[in-house]
Structure 1
Amino acid sequence: MEVDHKIPKSQGGKDSYNNWQLLHRHCHDTKTATDGSYGTKSGCKSVEPKPPVNSEWFWENDLLAMRYV
């Protein structure tokens, strides 16, 4: 899962809780490619799959959590 800005910051969206949503990695890539925000900093306009990430699941305070290792 990845954190996405519902309204991209490049289009005036705020960096705040009510403008964030969790999306699957591939859904985030697709949304970013179509909402006009992809490549606004680097000039890149293509959507390349992100490399696999090693994650580790664990229990903390009765909550299932994940961290990248």
Structure 2
Amino acid sequence: MGLRFIIPEFIWPIETQLPGLNSAASFTVFLFMVYLFNYTSTALFSQCGWLMGINVAGSKSQDREREGNRSNKI
């Protein structure tokens, strides 16, 4: 009962939670769905990882690699 009311009902109604799971397991499923949404939306948003900070360090390191490759070619 405790974790159920962390999520407001207009965002994720209690009726739509998976039946047969307790609130902790359904909350974990909800977090995994948020992670999947963020993972699939990184191509749509320019600042990758705006929701949970995913892929922020990866994109910066890739930019550094590109700059290094350019300087090596020159």
Shorter-chain TM-score category? under 0.3
Q: Give the number of the structure whose alpha-carbon radius of gyration is greater.
A: 2
The structure carrying a bigger strand percent of its residues is 1
The structure carrying a bigger helix percent of its residues is 2
- Point out which structure has higher relative CO (alpha carbons under 8 A, 6+ apart): 1
User: What TM-score comes out, normalization by structure 1 length?
Assistant: 0.22
User: What TM-score comes out, normalization by structure 2 length?
Assistant: 0.21
